[in-house]
């Protein structure tokens, strides 16, 4: 269950729990996709503590952002971003309709899901949170092999929110530098 840093009502928390369950059921045995969605949602929650955005719209979009992958793979033999963006909105609409969501809310989530691989795909704070949260998870696979300067440039070019940039800097620059110092026999100072 989410440990929200943002204010949501008990009804909103219950709805988000249903969205999470629907996502997990849809992905079924694909634990990798489920774990990715949960990590993106956790980062989105963290970013939401600093960004004025609709938490229910944002977290619903985080749970469902990759929901088009199974259909993209089935129909197109690929999970490339463009196929995810094409196949994700219909699945999103179906899942949220079954949960009794308002049509305008459904369309807002489907719009974010349908553009989540397109830079500046939707001009909203909710989209920017999803963009950064997804990047934080995906960067864990590609940034550790990069130099500090390369990482700084990538983060500067890619991150959309100040909060997302700061989290990424903490994870991929500060933590990496501390780790590299430990590997070289230097112990970083412990802050109390």
Cα separation, 68 vs 192, in Å, equals 45
Q: Residue 84's closest CA among 101, 108, 68? A: 68
What's the pLDDT score for residue 186? 42
What's the pLDDT score for residue 181? 42
Q: What is the mean pLDDT of the chain?
A: 89
Q: What number is the average pLDDT over the span 31-44?
A: 98
What's the pLDDT score for residue 187? 41
What's the pLDDT score for residue 54? 97
What's the pLDDT score for residue 113? 98
110 pLDDT exceeds 90? Answer: yes
Cα separation, 83 vs 121, in Å, equals 15
pLDDT single digits (tens) 45-80: 999 999 999 999 999 999 999 999 999 999 999 999
pTM of the complete model: 0.87
% the chain with pLDDT above 70:
88
Collapsing DSSP states into helix, strand and coil, what is residue 65?
coil
Res. 184 pLDDT band, cuts 50 70 90: very low
43 pLDDT exceeds 60? Answer: yes
DSSP string covering 108-177: HHHHHHTTTTSTT-S-SHHHHHHHHHHHHHHHHHHSTTS-HHHHHHHHHHH--SHHHHHHHHIIIIIHHH
Q: What is the third-level CATH fold of 10-183?
A: Hypothetical protein af1432 (1.10.3210)
Phi, psi (rounded to 5 degrees) for 9? -75, 165
What's the pLDDT score for residue 5? 65
């Amino acid at each position: 269950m989410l440990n929200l840093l943002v204010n949501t009502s008990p009804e909103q928390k219950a709805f988000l729990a249903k969205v999470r369950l629907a996502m997990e059921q849809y992905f079924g045995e694909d634990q990798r996709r489920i774990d990715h969605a949960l990590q993106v949602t956790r980062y989105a929650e963290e970013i939401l503590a600093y960004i004025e955005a609709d938490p229910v719209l944002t977290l619903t979009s985080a749970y469902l952002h990759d929901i088009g992958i199974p259909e993209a793979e089935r129909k197109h033999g690929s999970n490339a971003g463009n196929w995810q963006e094409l196949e994700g909105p219909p699945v999103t609409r179906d899942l949220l309709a079954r949960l009794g969501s308002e049509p305008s809310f459904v369309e807002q989530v489907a719009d974010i899901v349908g553009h989540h691989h397109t830079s500046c795909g939707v001009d909203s704070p909710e989209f920017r949170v999803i963009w950064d949260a997804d990047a934080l998870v995906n960067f864990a696979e590609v940034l550790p092999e990069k130099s500090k300067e390369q990482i700084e440039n990538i983060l500067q070019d890619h991150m959309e929110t100040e909060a997302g940039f700061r989290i990424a800097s903490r994870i991929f620059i500060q933590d990496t530098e501390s780790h590299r110092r430990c590997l070289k026999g230097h112990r970083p100072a412990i802050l109390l």
